[in-house]
Amino acid sequence: MIVSMQDKGEALLSKCSKGFKSLVRRKQVDSVHVRREGHQLARKLTALDLTAIGVGTTIGAGVYVLVGTVAREHTGPARTVSFLIAGLAAALSTFCYAELASRCPSAGSAYHYAYICIGESVAWLIGWSLILEYTIGGAAIARGISPNMALFLGGEGNLPAFLVRHTIPQLGVVMDPCAAILVLIVTFLLCAGIKESSLVQTIVTTVNVCAMLFIIVAGGYLACKTGWVGYELHGRFFPFGLNGMLAGSAIVFFSYIGFDAVTGAAEETKRPLRDLPLGIGMTLTLCCILYMLVSVVIVGLVPYYALNPDTPISSAFSANGMQWAAQALYIVTAGAVTALCASLMGSLLPQPRLLMAMARDGLLPAFFSDISTRTQVPVKSTVTTGMLAAVLAFFMDVSELSGMVSVGTLLAFTVVAISILILRYSPPEEVPLPSSLQQFIDSVRKQLDDDSQSMERKEFNDADIVEQRPSQSEYGEASIQYPLIEKQFCEDKQNPRRRRNIAIWNIALFCIGVLVLTSAASVEYLPSLVHFSLGAVGAAILLCSLVVLACLNQDEARHSFGHTGGFLCPFVPFLPAACILINSYLLMSLGVGTWIRVSIWLIMGALVYISYGWRHSSLTNAVYVPMAYLDHIYRASSSHQV
């Protein structure tokens, strides 16, 4: 009986261990087996196309309103500095995305990177969060187009009857047919092909950028004539102090969200190693420059406290006696409409590719992975997501749920930065292969083991010769003068696994320290002593783990991980660490209501994963082999097929 209980305990422990391993199992960089079956997207996008997608997605209509609200309530004339600081903070994530995009140029963006570097469960969490972001974000953008279009046409009464919003009094629902129709039009464009949709995106984005350039040039001309009266405040460039400027930076940071849409089209890029980092970098640079120039001009036209928070740009022109201020309003409104249309296209573009990537990996039904042979885009996924976004845009006012959009993006930014740390200090040692290659795996493993044993025998036979010679190392006399240095060097060379384990534990400790510190900084109802204590503990854990990471050597395997020769993130581990800290703080600052709604969505996602994704994952029966065996196994299988 005791033996039977022991057997049951061992069986239960084995099941738990297997279940945990399945949560952290990682896939290899490229889905080779999928591409061999012919399921591939068309590689037609250039760096210019990617930049148009990124800029169009990032510059929404919010900038036409946000410049006034932030200046009046938080920054004053220092709003330009706030945009610069927010741009630098966003650049931290840009560097991380650029390296992973060039190393792992496949569809799925942050989901794909998390699956390769962290594990399946975290990848599912990110993918599920991004599904929510793209769906709600697309619906919210679409519902914002109709009022701006009505303003452009001179009022809602000038809209065609079938586009006017209607209210159902019994249900309190405001139906927006204009929003739904626009979503369906964008869905049709995305189904037509990536090159066709990117061409439309480029045209719409160009109109939006031209509207902003008009504001900059015309506003700068007026400001020069009037003497930049908005800055004549007798030294009050920071009327709300440093805290106000930083608070404004936190608000306008969300104006830079959207550049990650570039990585969603990674599999459709002609030269991903060059064009993806270039597209991401150009997107952020152009957006930051445009934001700052608009801020400089508008604040220079009128004092910050005189800006109209609802229509800051047109009111700034009117305040300077501009005779054609009404025409300027049309240009600004046209810019807002085109900005929203470009953002709508950018929001609906990545989601079908995300669903396709998740379906390829078996976490979603294979229906979503089908690619049209004619247009070479995932038509079924595109139509499904477009219909869902159209229904939401038609029936629901999703403005209250818009905060949930930021959660998905900030979670993705955080996980991408963590992935950079893992890639540099402990990249995957093993890769999964389908069980159909088992015979080749066994053959290669036996052959390499035999070669390793013969090499060991040769080294053993040569040991006598080495012992008769004077003890020297590759450092020459340094080994005699500094024996501890050589000992440490040899231990580091001989114990890479120990160094990897130290790195992983310190990355985990760093994340815990960030969580404790940002929680202490964000929660307001705690006593001051608890605030200080938690903050001190979190900061101590954070700094100690970061110092250890900085002292460790990065893993040599990082040089051969993924596609080599692309962009490399600088200042590791400090840059990814700063990225994790900033994004975690913004996540903690989103509010309890937002987190409650997000938690409900994530619980639903966990149930879907347990009931379907975990059981149907393509890695369920995969065989993990060392990275060094990979080329030998593929060569053996290829020669067998020939």
Q: Is the dihedral of CA 212, 215, 218, 221 positive or negative?
A: negative
Bridge partners of residue 432, in order along the sequence = 624
* Between 442 and 507, residue with greater pLDDT: 507
Cβ–Cβ under 8 Å, residues 25 and 114: no
Write down the domain spans for the chain: 42-427
Mapped to the 3 state alphabet, what secondary structure does 194-253 carry?
HHHHHHHHHHHHHHHHHHHHHHHHHHHHHHHHHCCHHHCCCCCCCCCHHHHHHHHHHHHH
State how far Cα 513 lies from the chain centre. 22
- Burial state string for 29-66 with b = 16 or more CB within 10 A and e = fewer than 16: bebeebeeeebebbebbbbebbbbbbbbbbbbbbbbbb
pLDDT at 345 over 80: yes
Q: Is the pLDDT of residue 470 over 50?
A: no
Q: For position 434, what pLDDT does the model report?
A: 79
pLDDT value, residue 31: 44
- pLDDT(37) > 70: no
Quick one: tokens of 350? Answer: 């990545």
pLDDT at 457 exceeding the cut of 80:
no
Cβ contact 436:636 at 8 Å: no
Tokens of 473: 């190392």
Taking the alpha carbons of 437, 438, 444, 445 in that order, is the dihedral positive or negative? Answer: positive
Q: Please return the burial class of 273, using the count of CB atoms within 10 Å of its CB with bins 0-12, 13-18 and 19+.
A: middle
- Please report the pLDDT score of residue 474 as a whole number: 41
Does residue 404 have a pLDDT over 90?
no
> What is the residue-averaged pLDDT of the chain?
82
pLDDT in tens, 243-273: 888 888 888 888 888 888 899 899 999 999 9
User: Which of these, 239, 234, 233, 224, lies nearest to 320 by C-alpha position?
Assistant: 224
What residues contact residue 3 under an 8 Å CB cut-off, 6+ apart? Answer: none
The DSSP code for 73 is I
Asked whether the beta carbons of 104 and 416 are under 8 A apart, the reply is no
Q: What's the one-letter identity of residue 143?
A: R
**φ/ψ (deg, to 5) at 45:** -90, 140
Q: Per mean pLDDT, which of 171-175, 327-331, 355-359 is the most reliable?
A: 355-359
pLDDT tens per residue, range 111-144: 999 999 999 999 999 999 999 888 888 888 888 8
Over residues 69-90, the mean pLDDT reads: 88
Helix (H, G, I), strand (E, B) or coil at 343: helix
Q: What's the pLDDT band for 420 if we cut at 50, 70, 90?
A: very high
Structure-block tokens of residue 206? 């160009």
Q: By mean pLDDT, which of 62-66, 223-227, 496-500 is the weakest?
A: 62-66
- Under CATH, what is the fold of the domain 42-427? Amino acid/polyamine transporter I (1.20.1740)
Q: What is the DSSP letter of 570?
A: S
Residue 447 has pLDDT above 50, yes or no: yes
Question: Which contiguous run of DSSP H or E holds residue 188?
Answer: helix 177-192
Q: Alpha-carbon distance 278 to 441, whole Å?
A: 39
**How do residues 551-591 score in pLDDT, each as one tens digit?**
999 988 888 888 888 899 999 999 999 999 999 998 888 87
What is the band of 15 on the pLDDT scale with cuts at 50, 70, 90? low
pLDDT of res. 197: 92
Residue-by-residue DSSP string for 434-452:
-GGGHHHHHHHHHHHHHHH
Q: Which of 32-46, 327-341, 449-463 has the lowest mean pLDDT?
A: 449-463
- Torsions phi, psi of 359, nearest 5? -70, -35
pLDDT digits (tens, 9 = 90+) for 187-209: 999 999 999 999 999 999 999 99
Give residue-wise pLDDT tens across range 317-341.
777 666 565 566 678 788 888 888 9
Q: pTM of the full predicted structure?
A: 0.87
Q: Which residues pair with 174 in a beta bridge?
A: 167
483 upstream amide cis, omega within 30 of 0: no
pLDDT score for 472: 44
pLDDT above 60 (res 99): yes
pLDDT at position 73 is: 83
Average pLDDT over residues 462-469: 48
Tens of pLDDT along 593-620?
888 888 999 999 999 999 999 989 988 8
Share of the chain above pLDDT 90, in %: 40
How far apart are alpha carbons 506 and 500 in whole angstroms? 10
pLDDT at 485: 40
Q: How do beta strands 173-175 and 430-433 pair?
A: unpaired
